[in-house]
Amino acid sequence: MFLKLNEIGDKIAIAASGGKDSTVLAHIMKLLNERYLNRKIFFHWLLQRYDYGLDLFLLSIDEGISGYRDDSLETVKRNQLEYQLPLKILSYKDLYDWSMDDIVKEIGRKNNCTFCGVFRRQALDRGAVMLGVDQIVTGHNADDIAETVLMNILRGDIARLQRCTFIKTKSEETIPRSKPFKYTYEKEIVMYAYFKKLDYFSTECIYSPNAYRGHARVFLKDLEAIRPSTILDIIHSGEAFETSAESNPTNVTVPGVCNRCGYMSSRDLCKACLLLEGLNRGLPKLGIGNTEKLRKKHLDEKEKSIGEYSSSKRTPGNPFIQNFNDLKLGSDLKKPL
């Protein structure tokens, strides 16, 4: 792309939710990839090969939310047929043995977005490994990123403040992610989808009122009405935040891997495994918020307590999740035992 997000011949997974952003992204990636395939352009003194030559895939995550994700996945499947791109769907149920419906039944509607977000992040990485891609592209647009900057400021989340504005992630441990629509307004995306008559799914997730983002969004739209350049201005402010190593612990921690599942993690147990541990032991608060104490207490107790928690939940200490390193190119999920 213009910003050199990828190299010729890269394998790219498009994170596809069936919503407007990822539908437009899939459409545009496919269109440009074909338009610029093997095109030779006479450029001054040389014939330069000017193409994308990308190998594109659609990657969808099925969180297991009936009445929402099942419908949006139908949209993804229709798009797959239309765009003729290979599609891989990974479900929380297969990956973690818990669908979001199960989780909400267990923990209620509070905090369920934490589970969903952590699980999705890891699920996308797992899917990317299975597909053997070099990169994941997501549909985040300029409005989304400006909202995230505002939210990170309001929450005082210094570590994420600058990171959330990167057009491409910098970490070497995971598969890079990029946001080709970083500078594209939501309005442009919606207009494009409308005029191209793209088929997208537009229902709010039934479990996420996501009030916090909602407030940021309304505030941003009000600002934009006063000053149209606000969105790009806010993104620019986010980019301009320089945080020192001391105030930004993520810069100094040595990245390691999770003992249990092999996923990149700065602690012994990654966030997803911690949340799963909580679910499987009937202690769903285990990974939520500032729970350093809980984490320590319950994990220290773990060895001796195996068996005590068998009340209603799955076997403790014997998590279902497959080790990240066992994932292979083209491999399919280990089926539940």
Partner 1 sequence: MKINLEFSGGLELLFDGLKQTSVVVEDSSLKNLFKKIESELITQNKELFLKDEKLRPGILVLINESDWELEGQYDYQLKDEDTIVLISTLHGG
Which residue lies nearer to partner 1 by CB, 40 or 187? 187
Residue with tokens 């969105």: 231
In the three-class reduction of DSSP (H, G, I as helix; E, B as strand; rest coil), residue 49 is classed as strand
Closest contact distance (angstroms) between CB of 50 and partner 1 is: 31
Q: Does residue 244 contact residue 159 with C-beta atoms inside 8 Å?
A: no
Amino acid at 50: Y
Residue 204 interacts with, from partner 1, Zn ion, none (CB under 5-8 Å by kind):
partner 1
Residues 111-150 that bind Zn ion (CB under 5 A): 144
When the beta carbons of 3 and 218 are compared against partner 1, the nearer one is: 218
Q: Which tokens go with 178?
A: 């990029």
**H, E, C per residue of 115-151:** HHHHHHHHHHHHHHHHHCCCEEECCCCHHHHHHHHHH
Chain residues 40-99 in contact with partner 1, contact rule CB under 8 A: 72
Burial grade of 38 (CB within 10 A; 0-12, 13-18, 19 or more): exposed
Tokens coding 134: 């070099």
Q: Which of 258, 279, 286, 327 binds Zn ion (CB under 5 A)?
A: 258
Q: How far apart are CA 145 and CA 182, in angstroms?
A: 7
In a 10 Å sphere around its CB, with 0-12 CB exposed, 13-18 middle and 19+ buried, how is residue 1 labelled? middle
273 binds, among Zn ion, partner 1, none (CB under 5 to 8 A by kind): Zn ion
Binding mask 121-160 for partner 1 (x = CB under 8 A): ------------------xx--xx----------------
Please, which residues have CB within 8 angstroms of residue 298's CB and are 6 or more apart in sequence? 277, 281, 283, 286
Whether residue 144 is annotated as binding a ligand: the answer is: yes
Size of the site for Zn ion (CB under 5 A): 8
Indicate the residue type of 124: L
The CA distances from residue 337 to 102, 116, 120, in Å, are 18, 23, 22
| 145: partner contacted, choices Zn ion, partner 1, none (Cβ within 5-8 A by kind) | none
20 binds partner 1 (CB under 8 A): yes
158-197: contacts with Zn ion (CB under 5 A): none
Sign (positive or negative) of CA dihedral 177, 211, 22, 97: positive
Using CB under 8 A as the binding rule, the residues of this chain from 178 to 237 that contact partner 1 are 186-187, 189-191, 194-195, 200-205, 217-218, 221-222, 224-225
- In angstroms, give the least distance from the CB of 154 to partner 1: 19
Query: What's the closest the beta carbon of residue 95 comes to Zn ion, in angstroms?
Result: 11
- One-letter amino acid for residue 6 of the chain: N
Q: Return the one option of partner 1, Zn ion, none that residue 191 interacts with (CB less than 5 to 8 A, by type).
A: partner 1
Q: Determine if residue 139 is labeled as part of a ligand binding site.
A: yes
Q: Is 278 annotated as a binding residue?
A: no
Closest CA to 14 of 143, 205, 177: 177
Check the annotation: does 61 bind a ligand.
yes
What b/e string do you get for 107-130 counting C-beta neighbours within 10 Å, with b at 16 or more? beeebbbbbbebbbbbbbbbbbbb
Q: Does 270 bind Zn ion (CB under 5 A)?
A: yes
Binding residue for Zn ion (CB under 5 A) from 261, 275, 279, 286?
261
CB of 19 to partner 1, least distance (A): 4
Is 22 one of the binding residues for partner 1 (CB under 8 A)?
yes
Smallest distance, partner 1 to C-beta of residue 24, A: 11
Choice from 126, 260, 281, 295 touching Zn ion (CB under 5 A): 260
Annotated binding site for ATP: 15-17, 21, 61, 139, 144
> Which residues here bind Zn ion, judged by CB under 5 A?
21, 144, 258, 260-261, 263, 270, 273
> Which residues here bind partner 1, judged by CB under 8 A?
17-22, 72, 139-140, 143-144, 186-187, 189-191, 194-195, 200-205, 217-218, 221-222, 224-225
